Chain A
Amino acid sequence: MKVFTFILSLVLTAPAIASDENPAKTLLHDMATAVHTRNFDASFVVVKGQAMEPYRWLHAKQGDIELEHLSLLNGAGLEMVRVDDQVTYFEPHSEPYSVKTDSIAGPIPEVLFKDIDRLSAHYDFVLGGKGRIAGRSAQLVRIESKDEYKYNYWIWLDTESSLLLKSAYVNHKGEMLEQLQLTHISVTEQPAPMLVEMQNREFPAVLSTNDIASDSDGAANDWKIGWLPDGFKLLKSDRHKLDLNNELADYYLYSDGFVEVSVFIQRPLPGKRASGALSSGATTVYVHNGGSFDVSVVGNIPAMTAKAIAESVARPL
Chain B
Amino acid sequence: MTKADVNKLDNEQLSALLDGEQQLTDQAITNDDVSTFGRYAMIGDVMRAEANNNAFNFDIADAVAEALEQEPVYADFANKTTAPKSEEIVAATGTDNVVAFNWRRPFAQVAIAASVAMFAIVGVQTLPQNTEAPQNDIPTLQTVPLTGMASPVSYSSEQPALENAQQGLRELQQQRIGALVLEHQRQARVAYSLEESQTADNAEEEKN
Contacts and interface: CB of A to CB of B under 8 A. Distances in A.
Given A90-B103, A101-B192, A285-B181, 11 more contacts: A50-B145, A78-B114, A95-B82, A101-B196, A105-B191, A114-B192, A213-B194, A242-B182, A271-B169, A274-B125, A277-B141
A84 interface: no
Interface in A51-76: 51, 53, 71-72, 74-76
B125 A92 contact: no
Nearest to B93: A202
Contacts of A270: 169, 172
Contacts of B99: 202
A296 interface: yes
B77 interface: yes
B101 interface: yes
Given A244-B116, A245-B179, A212 B101 contact: no
Contacts of A165: none
Interface residues of B, number: 72
B182 A243 contact: yes
Contacts of A156: none
A36 to B, nearest CB: 15
A51 B147 contact: yes
Interface in A271-317: 271, 273-280, 283, 285-287, 296, 298-299, 303-304, 307
B2 interface: no
A204 interface: yes
B193 interface: yes
Given A205-B86, A269-B173, A51 B118 contact: yes
B191 A235 contact: yes
A22 to B, nearest CB: 23
A154 interface: no
A78 B115 CA distance: 9
B75 A285 contact: no
Interface of B: 74-75, 77, 80, 82-83, 85-86, 89, 98-101, 103-105, 107-119, 121, 124-127, 135-136, 138-141, 143-145, 147, 165-166, 169, 172-173, 175-184, 186-198
Nearest to B87: A205
A75 B114 CA distance: 6
A204 B86 contact: yes
A99 B108 CA distance: 20
Nearest to A72: B114
Contacts of A304: 135-136, 138
A30 interface: no
Interface residues of A, number: 79
Contact of B141 (A50, A95, A198, A278): A278
A87 B189 CA distance: 10
A266 B104 CA distance: 37
A159 interface: no
Contacts of B113: 75-76, 78, 91-93
Contacts of A100: 193
Given A93-B111, A204-B83, A274-B126, A262 B183 contact: yes
Q: Which of A92, A204, A242, A247 has the most CB of B within 10 A?
A: A92
B145 A271 contact: no
Q: Which of B74, B77, B176 has the most CB of A within 10 A?
A: B176
B173 A273 contact: yes
B129 to A, nearest CB: 9
A252 to B, nearest CB: 10
Contact of A93 (B74, B77, B85, B190): B74
22 contacts: A72-B114, A76-B114, A89-B186, A95-B83, A97-B82, A100-B193, A101-B193, A198-B103, A212-B190, A212-B194, A244-B179, A253-B188, A260-B191, A271-B165, A271-B166, A274-B126, A276-B141, A278-B140, A285-B119, A296-B177, A299-B184, A304-B138
Contacts of A72: 114
Contacts of A278: 119, 121, 140-141, 143, 177
B199 to A, nearest CB: 10
B75 A93 contact: yes
B180 A264 contact: yes
A256 to B, nearest CB: 10
B117 A244 contact: no
A233 B80 CA distance: 38
